[in-house]
């Protein structure tokens, strides 16, 4: 396949390496300083675009792909307030848009375990839920996209928590789920779910040892998505 990389930083470069090792051709490696290269690219020389850029660049990149009729796989976090517009545009253009806050297969197993645990804890009293995420200091957004997905998995299965919030300092909120974001190098991504009571604590965690799982997951999705249409997610891609 001819793969266009929109964003050629830490993730884009690793995705490029793995994609070439799987026999794909890189149609372009676009960063903030060479966007004029996009003028040469369209659906006749790009089969799929993989977008890992920055929160303020993602929407423009995704819209460009939808305008050109190029299927787009996006992993950029921190722009999700604009996702409804992108979903509407995907339908209007009969395009292909795939988003995941985390492409690692292990994290997607963890998402399911989180939902199952949240259902059990909803039947149990005395526990206080919280999320902690740890990432490298170059990360632009907080909380992480993965932590937001985990929070949604808890809120959808909990009858007393009304929303999540980013906990900074001592400002705890009643009936809301706190997320603590820590920035420590070189952490590629750690997420911990805690339920704490006076009697005991329950804790589940996922720790990425590198960015390999995120990059490989995005390429597997790009290979799968080629002939598909619509707004798609990891729930469509995975069979569990």
Pairing of strands 48-51, 96-99: unpaired
Least distance CB 71 / ligand NAD (angstroms): 17
135 is known as an active-site residue? yes
Place of tokens 């009643």: 174
Tell me which residue of 181, 21, 187, 11 sits closest to 103, measured CA to CA: 11
98 interacts with ligand NAD by CB under 6 A = no
53 interacts with ligand LLHOTIJI by CB under 6 A = no
Interhelix angle 10-21/212-225, nearest 10 degrees: 60
SS3 content of the chain, % helix, strand, coil (to 5): 40, 25, 40
Tokens of 126: 């005395």
143 interacts with ligand NAD by CB under 6 A = no
136 is known as an active-site residue? no
Nearer to ligand LLHOTIJI, 53 or 144 (CB): 144
Please, what sign has the CA dihedral across residues 83, 87, 90, 96?
Answer: positive
- Provide the 3-class DSSP secondary structure of residue 69: coil
Q: How far apart are alpha carbons 50 and 147 in whole angstroms?
A: 22
Q: Whose CB is nearest to ligand NAD?
A: 9
Indicate which of ligand NAD, ligand LLHOTIJI, none lies near residue 135 (CB less than 5 to 8 Å, by partner kind). Answer: ligand LLHOTIJI
102 interacts with ligand LLHOTIJI by CB under 6 A = yes
According to CB under 6 A, which residues from 120 to 149 bind ligand LLHOTIJI? 135, 139, 144-146
Least distance CB 11 / ligand NAD (angstroms): 3
| 3-state helix/strand/coil string of 9-47 | CHHHHHHHHHHHHCCCEEEEEECCCCHHHHHHCCCCCCC
Judged by CB under 6 A, the number of residues near ligand NAD is: 26
Provide the 10 A C-beta neighbour count for residue 204: 15
Indicate which of ligand LLHOTIJI, ligand NAD, none lies near residue 97 (CB less than 5 to 8 Å, by partner kind). Answer: none
Indicate which of ligand LLHOTIJI, ligand NAD, none lies near residue 103 (CB less than 5 to 8 Å, by partner kind). Answer: ligand NAD
User: Given strand 25-30, what is the order of strands in its sheet?
Assistant: 25-30, 2-6, 48-51, 72-74, 96-99, 230-232
Q: Which of 135, 191, 226, 229 is catalytic?
A: 135
Least distance CB 37 / ligand NAD (angstroms): 10
Active-site residue list = 135, 139
> Residue numbers of the site for ligand LLHOTIJI (CB under 6 A)?
77, 101-102, 135, 139, 144-146, 189
Residues that bind ligand NAD in the complex, under the rule CB under 6 A: 6-12, 30-32, 35, 52-55, 57, 61, 75-78, 100-103, 214
């Amino acid at each position: 396949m001819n793969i266009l990389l929109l964003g050629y930083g830490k993730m884009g470069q690793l995705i490029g390496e793995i994609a070439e090792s799987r026999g794909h051709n890189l149609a372009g490696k676009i960063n903030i300083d060479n966007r004029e290269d996009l003028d040469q690219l369209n659906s006749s020389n790009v089969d799929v675009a993989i977008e890992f850029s920055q929160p303020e660049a993602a929407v423009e990149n995704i819209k460009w792909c939808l305008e050109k009729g190029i299927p787009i796989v996006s992993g950029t976090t921190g722009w999700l307030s604009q996702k409804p517009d992108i979903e509407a545009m995907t339908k209007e253009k009969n395009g292909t848009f795939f988003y995941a806050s985390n492409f690692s297969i292990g994290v997607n197993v963890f998402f399911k375990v989180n939902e199952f645990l949240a259902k059990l804890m909803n039947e149990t009293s005395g526990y206080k839920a919280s999320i902690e995420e740890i990432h490298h200091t170059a990360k632009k957004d907080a909380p992480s996209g993965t932590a937001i997905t985990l929070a949604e998995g808890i809120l959808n299965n909990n009858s007393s928590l009304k929303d999540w919030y980013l906990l900074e300092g001592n400002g705890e909120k009643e009936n809301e789920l706190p997320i603590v974001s820590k920035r420590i190098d070189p952490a590629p991504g750690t997420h911990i779910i805690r339920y704490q009571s006076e009697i005991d604590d329950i804790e589940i965690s996922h720790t990425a040892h590198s960015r390999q799982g995120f990059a490989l997951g995005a390429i597997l999705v790009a290979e799968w998505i080629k002939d598909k249409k619509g707004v798609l997610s990891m729930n469509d891609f995975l069979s569990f």
